[in-house]
């Protein structure tokens, strides 16, 4: 469940700035990034958001989106062309309003890299739903459809939470 009663106030840039994080930034977090970009574009509110994704590890830095994740996005008509993995940086904390992980392990690394969460910006994606839990890593499960479905539910919950429609 969400830890705060009220959504954070959007940054002075008049956009909700969202950063999704997972271990390598080649499966879950880029899926979130491009799925949310697609959702807000289709709803005509893309100008109200700035969306990126990053890794908590250095293992995949510079690599593109993992082919099965890219294929699953493509089946939904979503392109992630040009995306390469980057690592979360301490200065990202000041640049984003919401920094959203996929599982408790991500959260631990995010807290470590960012040096804490004094403003309450860190969330697990499925905390925005009625069934908060981790999103299983499809790198290991091979179930990119389940990941896609979980992300869809999480993103809908997030959009409802920030009440931008």
Q: Which residues are catalytic?
A: 22, 28, 137
C-alpha separations of 117 from 65, 90, 107 in Å: 28, 11, 10
Q: How far apart are CA 57 and CA 140, in angstroms?
A: 16
Q: How far apart are CA 31 and CA 145, in angstroms?
A: 11
Q: How far apart are CA 58 and CA 124, in angstroms?
A: 21
Q: Residue 12 is encoded by which pair of tokens?
A: 């002075």
Residue 119, Cβ neighbours under 10 Å: how many? 10
Q: How far apart are CA 52 and CA 49, in angstroms?
A: 10
SS3 104: helix
Q: How far is CA 22 from the centre of its chain?
A: 8
């Amino acid at each position: 469940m969400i830890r705060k009663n009220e959504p954070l106030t959007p940054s002075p840039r008049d956009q909700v700035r969202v950063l999704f994080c997972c271990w390598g930034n080649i499966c879950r977090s880029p899926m979130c990034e491009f799925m949310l970009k697609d959702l807000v574009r289709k709803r005509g509110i893309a100008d109200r958001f700035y969306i990126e994704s990053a890794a908590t590890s250095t293992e995949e830095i510079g690599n593109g989106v993992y082919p099965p994740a890219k294929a699953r996005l493509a089946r939904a008509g979503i392109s992630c062309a040009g995306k390469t993995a980057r690592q979360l940086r301490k200065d990202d904390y000041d640049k984003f309003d919401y920094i959203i992980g996929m599982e408790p392990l991500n959260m631990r690394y995010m807290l470590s890299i960012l040096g804490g969460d004094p403003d309450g910006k860190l969330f697990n994606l499925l905390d925005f739903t009625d069934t908060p839990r981790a999103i299983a890593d499809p790198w290991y499960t091979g179930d990119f459809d389940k990941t896609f479905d979980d992300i869809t539910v999480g993103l809908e919950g997030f959009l409802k939470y920030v009440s931008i429609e």
